[in-house]
Structure 1
């Protein structure tokens, strides 16, 4: 079978692929919206042209190489949301056109485009989905990655035939839908229920594309095993072909190539480390030095984060268990506070926590931004082909994470024919499972919204007075304090802190130039039985920049009043955290 025929069939099958199914309501809805018999042709044709042009832009220009896939989703989703709003609220455009004083000509063009007979509106809807359709097919990936670089003319031909297959199937579906709508009354009313429903579908699908939720739907469809269109397409690709291109084995794909093609449709590729600030437990390296040889678990964390600390027993256990079986853990240390940027502090924290795997300092948040991360902790699992096949935010999900590691390691062993069996047991780890009802509370003016006495959000030297009653989860200060953006500094001996908490454990992030004692009271009494691990004789000595455990409730989470008295000025306090 020639690749030309396979490309056409692949285009037909793409409409049934899990990554396209969630988008069909948009194509069909726009095509049947109105009585114009050319609507399906315009929408489908625009989509086909968009696929070709989008592919050529990716191959011909370096400008688009580093643009994240999410950017195209934002653009496509935004356009679909726009048309959804116009369909649900047909008078919106006219009102805004008058309000913002658009020219009559532009108002006329855009207004018509948003309505049922708007030619350019149909073009825009079809074209907006081109980037989303891209990479839904192994054949598309093959043309993009191998045929185009070897033969531009053949690549364009195959790409055009693939796009034609997509369009033919869309046209068939759209024309059937249009015929059905014509036989039913009440569907042509621009303010009727049908149009409103159509608009709502546009909004739902647009938001799904914009937020990336459509990818979760695609993955669920694929993993359900209901059908495997991609697998059928791959079987077509492995049949003998007549076309010859000067690349060994391009057309006769082996199992490894098939797996890579399938992954490209469902998973993003890893991002390289960006502008690392330092390395702990290793010499400088790039992820490219490891990916392809090992499975990589990327862990975004920062050492004073209690949520991060509670995951570390699992990280240590997994590293010891799987490091000789092909797992490499790379911890990306992205600091929350300025003191966490210091290399020596990170080294000491690694020693204190018993971490021996590589730690990369990300002081400028460059790698954090490259991955689009917003959370501590967060884990990305990178497989042997460099795809992020698993992503977990926050604590928990340990069994699920370990099973994903085992699955990735098995693929590595099968691929590289490595000796030894993968240990498929789930690690039993003694870890902190405490629960907190109180929120993390910051002392610095940039984020001290829970300040109970005084004005939050202001920096400077302030004198605070304590009352006799305290609200839960509010920070109360007593005495003289210097508030800066990240922290608050005690200015005299006897300064106080009061906080009414509900938690198993209470922690404070603090530092001082010299060792300074803090006296800890719980419900008015010096803390003894419920003292945290850093407490000795009801006091804690603060010096190193780190997290200090003040309270450890023996009977579980409960509500109490914490009172801290500072014995000397000069303590810089960043935050309360609870467990």
Structure 2
């Protein structure tokens, strides 16, 4: 439990000094003057409001059957009323009147007359949208998934208190400066008018999402710290090898296992898309109010525009961070504003999120033409590395593809040449370098037309019986292998003959009498040619290894 509180405290403090406070900082400073207690009331109301909203807002609105973004607009309306009250004292007294009639609150209202700091803070907290850091991500995902427990509450409260400390420092500091110059005492009316204008301006800015454009233009100088904190948040173990790939070098292709399935949802801008069969695909998790996502989306959209004609598919998974992000109309409007025109599916119940064991907004999963995840990147950055790998996978999928000029700085115009083939499995469970469509390369007896592979690929010809671990020759069975290596080994089992046909016309044959390996090629100089391997009926081939 205490670990959750500490993580929440530190995560909140990091959020409180990040660019995300810009939308509310002017308002905090504007409404915090006039008394020593007012800054504390304002900040207390703010953190109370957004902590309660995080945990209870989605559940309450679901029970009421109201639109998901109702709470946000209620908060904006409250800001407008407070702003008008600051400008028009008689209207402010009208707002106070109903509360003066409540029993046992008369004396409190009398003391708080003209202040209302806590109420102002409550209104601000409803529309306060901090950065989508890993800590807050863990809180909101669990809340949206109806997994609210004592640990989640402790983390949320810790986050609220941590975020309050920097805001309070600004508020108290601003208040003390005001006291020293006696500004608020001598210009009380003028200050209330200015504060009222600021409140109304901020309400209008938040209603039109204006602060997002400011934040997108700023560097995220706390991203590294927040990412480090995110590692301390417990998350379920990933299935397959997705977990290992999360920390892999983003500049190199990895073998991360098969891409998980996408859950059903509302598709926007096209679709549906199945990354298991869509060819080279970039799966992007995002939420439209997430500033980090908005900055990343600019690069993802640019990548899609440049490479879609070359075969790249992009699919956005919109997993909402806040209640108002569940609304389809809001997502559609955000897509238009942010220039997103690739297919996006709403993941309001976080089913796809959990299938991928995702933890961050944004997060990218690069999938090859055979449905295997080859790169995972969480957070902003690594745009050039992703583009380089996209170019490499597109070339592997179609050696004759014409690629556009790179769109990110530092990307090579051509994919880096491989010094030798990677280990190549032939069974359907682990195969990934075959020059066939995933629909054709499936378990069972399949007849293939001969095609010539390139760049580390292989292709089958004739009739084969494909299984999870190996492929078994049936009739006229051949493997064509584009090999770059000095040493090429074949793992084989059964009894029969393997015949090798090389570019120089030689045709060595190998008798197979026991399970094991065959040295098809072993020489001092590296070859770069297409080998044809004929297997007699009944032989099972497992993999090629290279040296």
TM-score of Structure 1 vs Structure 2, range by shorter chain: 0.3 to 0.5
Provide the TM-score with structure 2 as the length reference. 0.45
Provide the TM-score with structure 1 as the length reference. 0.43
